[in-house]
């Protein structure tokens, strides 16, 4: 177990390095540089421009820049964000909690909701309610998250005025308990837009798996042995039916992070997605590298958690 975990960690570190190196190279190969807005004017002397590029090391070969960057990160220095005029570490520290809150809540809701609804509909697959729910899930997973977000902004937020249109909290708003309520109020729509399509996929997977497990021989055996029905359903059937859902969850983590970029833009959510989007548009090399680093670590950790859960649910995976 310990050796396997260490090997997974090493693999994960390699993946993070690979991802950051890819993005690091891609953005430097792209036309433009962090100063293209400020220093591309014809009136800026060429010496000033090249001096500024040299000051931050952007005139060096890309591999050298990358090695220097990794060295700096290891020492805890993420560089200077040109577009924000603050250290990248500070920008990330300000944006990360908002995104963790958004993604964490959405992920939890999607998995808990998807698994429990899917388990129920799969177990009672013959009822018309469960067929209807399955069809509803099909519809939900077909609406891209940004369209759900747009519709949410149009309906509940703008037309009915039930929810705030954007932001993570009311500026100069209430504090204390009311402040928490205010934050939850802001959180509701972006979380729903992000969670519903994922929940729908999880639900359908869980539905199919539960339906298959229901007919399995070991369920019949357990029932013949007089195991209580609730125990059969929650311990025997659900645990086995979780396997495909968990292996999906690991793969899907990166895809869910893609959704964050658009959702955060639509709801003006002050998180990592917006940070990255703005960073890419302004070619803020250090900001992009820092954001990608955090995103890659998040993805790898998410995948590893899914793997660990998979080993718990399916002992056959432990040998691998």
Partner 1 sequence: MNGAPRSRELGARLGAAFLALVGLAALAAPWLTAHAPTTQLDPVALAWQPPSAAHWLGTDSYSRDVWSRLLFGARATMGIALLAVTVSLTLGTLVGALAALAPRWIDTLLMRATDALLAIPRLLLLLLVVAGAGTLEVAPLALLLGATGWMTTARVVRQESSRLLATPHLEGARALGVPSGRLLTRHLLPSLLPTLAVAATAAFAAAVPLESGLSYLGLGVRTPLPSWGNLLADAESQPLAHWWVIVFPTLAIAGTVLAANALASALERRWRR
CB of 93 to partner 1, least distance (A): 20
* Closer residue to partner 1 in complex, CB, 103/232: 103
* Closer residue to partner 1 in complex, CB, 4/254: 254
Interface residues toward partner 1, by CB under 8 A: 11, 14-15, 18-19, 22-23, 26-27, 29-32, 125-126, 131, 138-139, 141-144, 146-147, 150-151, 153-154, 158-159, 251, 254-255, 257-259, 261-262, 265, 276-277, 280-281, 283, 288, 292, 295-296, 299-300, 303
Q: Closest Cα partner for 62 from 25, 26, 31?
A: 25
CB of 113 to partner 1, least distance (A): 20
CB of 235 to partner 1, least distance (A): 26
* Closer residue to partner 1 in complex, CB, 238/300: 300
* Closer residue to partner 1 in complex, CB, 29/177: 29
Could you tell me the two tokens for 92?
């990330």
* Closer residue to partner 1 in complex, CB, 222/272: 272
CB of 266 to partner 1, least distance (A): 9
Distance between CA atoms of 163 and 306, rounded to whole angstroms?
33
Give the CA-trace dihedral at 19, 21, 26, 32, to 10 degrees: 130
Distance between CA atoms of 11 and 30, rounded to whole angstroms?
29
CB of 151 to partner 1, least distance (A): 7
**DSSP run (H or E) holding 25:** helix 2-29
Distance between CA atoms of 34 and 28, rounded to whole angstroms?
10
CA 242-243-248 angle, to 5 degrees, is 100
Could you tell me the two tokens for 41?
């004017």
């Amino acid at each position: 177990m310990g050796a396997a975990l260490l090997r997974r960690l090493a693999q994960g570190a390699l993946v993070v390095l690979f991802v950051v190196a890819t993005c690091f190279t891609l953005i430097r190969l792209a036309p433009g540089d962090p100063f293209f807005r400020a220093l591309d004017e014809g009136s800026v002397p060429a010496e000033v421009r090249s001096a500024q590029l040299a000051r931050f090391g952007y005139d060096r070969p890309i591999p050298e820049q990358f090695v220097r960057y990794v060295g700096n990160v290891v020492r805890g220095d993420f560089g200077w964000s040109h577009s924000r005029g603050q250290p990248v570490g500070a920008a990330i520290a300000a944006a990360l909690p908002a995104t963790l809150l958004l993604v964490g809540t959405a992920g939890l809701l999607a998995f808990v909701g998807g698994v429990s609804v899917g388990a129920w509909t799969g177990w009672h697959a013959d009822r018309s309610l469960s067929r209807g729910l399955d069809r509803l899930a099909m519809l939900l997973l077909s609406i891209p998250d940004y369209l759900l977000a747009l519709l949410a902004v149009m309906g509940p937020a703008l037309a009915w005025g039930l929810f705030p249109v954007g932001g993570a909290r009311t500026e100069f708003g209430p504090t204390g308990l009311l402040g928490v309520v205010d934050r939850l109020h802001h959180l509701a729509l972006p979380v729903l837009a992000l969670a519903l399509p994922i929940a729908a996929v999880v639900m359908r997977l869980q539905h199919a798996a539960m339906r298959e497990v229901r007919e399995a021989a070991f369920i019949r055996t357990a029932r013949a042995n007089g195991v209580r029905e609730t125990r059969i359903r929650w311990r025997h059937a659900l645990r086995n039916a979780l396997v495909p859902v968990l292996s999906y969850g690991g793969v899907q983590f990166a895809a869910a992070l893609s959704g964050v970029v658009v959702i955060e833009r639509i709801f003006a959510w002050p998180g990592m997605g917006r940070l990255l989007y703005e960073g890419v548009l302004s070619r803020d090399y250090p900001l992009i590298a820092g954001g990608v680093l955090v995103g890659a670590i998040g993805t790898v950790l998410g995948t590893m958690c899914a793997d660990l859960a998979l080993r718990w649910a399916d002992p056959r995976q432990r040998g691998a």
